């Protein structure tokens, strides 16, 4: 019974993880927070490579200040998470000077407020990012859905087989005594 519950819970958790990852376009979202995988060591020791951080995409960039950790779009397909080291106001444009905690110098380009996509919420889960990154791949999706499902089916098969073995000897005894 306990094995059945564990396997079923594992299957449901994997399905939930894969569906959330796919529905949100790659990054899982839960309770309004997106979960981003840390792919480099630029923010160590604050975030270790392979960690998952929670970010809030519902932010007012006018309220960001020095010391905040933001996720911004560096290019069309690349997001970066660094700390704000200076807030720069040039005319009507609000920009941020950013720097990775593990980098020697600030980033070369100022970040436009329009390019900020999220702010770090303070939640970090170490090492689970490797798992999330794998689950977003096609092979990871297949493995995370198929293996727990096969384990559950296999366990059910052996449970049914064991129940049939228990029933079968009782039927033989009843037929010999009558």
β-bridge partners, 99: 83
pLDDT of residue 98: 95
CA-nearest of 176, 111, 112, 141 to 15 is 141
Pair (70, 116) in one structural domain: yes
Which stretch of 62-66, 72-76, 81-85 has the lowest confidence by average pLDDT? 72-76
Note whether 44 and 33 are same-domain residues: yes
Number of domains in the chain: 2
Active site (catalytic) residues: 40
Q: Which domain holds residue 131?
A: 27-135
148 in the same domain as 159: yes
Domain CATH code at residue 43: 2.10.109.10
- Residue that wins the pLDDT comparison between 58 and 67: 67
Model confidence band, residue 18 (pLDDT cutoffs 50, 70, 90) = low
Instruction: Report the alpha-carbon distance of residue 119 to residue 106 in Å, rounded.
Output: 18
- On whether both 119 and 74 belong to a single domain, the answer is yes
């Amino acid at each position: 019974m306990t094995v059945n519950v564990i396997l079923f819970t594992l299957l449901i958790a994997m399905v939930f993880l894969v569906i959330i990852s796919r529905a949100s376009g790659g990054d899982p979202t839960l309770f309004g927070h997106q979960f981003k995988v840390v792919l480099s060591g630029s923010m160590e020791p604050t975030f270790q490579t392979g960690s998952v951080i929670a970010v809030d995409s519902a932010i007012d960039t006018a309220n960001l200040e020095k010391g905040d950790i933001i996720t911004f779009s560096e290019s069309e397909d690349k997001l970066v998470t660094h700390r704000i080291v200076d807030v720069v106001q040039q005319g009507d444009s609000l920009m941020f000077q950013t720097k990775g905690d593990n980098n020697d110098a600030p980033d070369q380009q100022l970040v436009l407020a329009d390019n900020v996509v999220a702010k770090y919420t303070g939640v970090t889960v170490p090492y689970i990012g490797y798992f999330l990154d794998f689950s977003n791949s096609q092979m990871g999706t297949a493995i995370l859905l198929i293996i727990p499902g096969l384990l559950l089916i296999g366990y059910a098969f052996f449970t049914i087989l064991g129940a049939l073995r228990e029933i079968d000897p009782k039927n033989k005894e009843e037929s010999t005594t009558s």
